[in-house]
Amino acid sequence: MNNKIALRALFTAGLMGFASLALAHGDVTPQKVETKGLTPLGEEWVDENPYRAPSEDHDKAVQIGSSAYNQNCARCHGLEAISGGIAPDLRELEASYDGDEWFKERVINGAVRDGAVYMPRMADYLSQEALWAIRTYIESEAAKR
């Protein structure tokens, strides 16, 4: 009988430990992105990625976008923009107006299904310069495939 109690206690402790790991994934509040060095875009959203090559800002945008992506997007969309299946693989977006349109819609409006927030409205936290830099980084990763 003591073995049953000990086994239950061990099982319960294990479950509690596992649950604490699930809750200890860190700060999920979008992190500020420094965009110094990129051409300012203003308040009105542009329709296409202004930092896409051959833009003179391209290399700087990839650098800023890499850091910004890893701080704000990788936990769901995967390291180096390689999705593990939880969220869409952003490398699949076309590097064109159509892909930019989808990206822009999603970062401005977020993703909500049945009242559950799957992605916050990132434009509430990050500038369009930061978000287009992230898009530029994602495109650079897609080009490596």
The three-state secondary structure class of 111 is strand
In angstroms, how far is CA 124 from the centroid of its own chain?
14
The kind and range of the H/E element at 113 are strand 111-113
How many H-runs (helices) and E-runs (strands) does the chain carry?
Answer: 5, 2
What predicted TM-score, i.e. pTM, was given to this entire model? 0.79
Q: Report which listed range, 2-11, 43-52, 70-79, 83-92, is most confident.
A: 43-52
Q: Write the CA distances from 131 to 10, 25, 139, integer angstroms.
A: 46, 23, 12
pLDDT of 103:
96
pLDDT at 45 > cutoff 70: yes
Q: Which two tokens stand for residue 128?
A: 């369009």
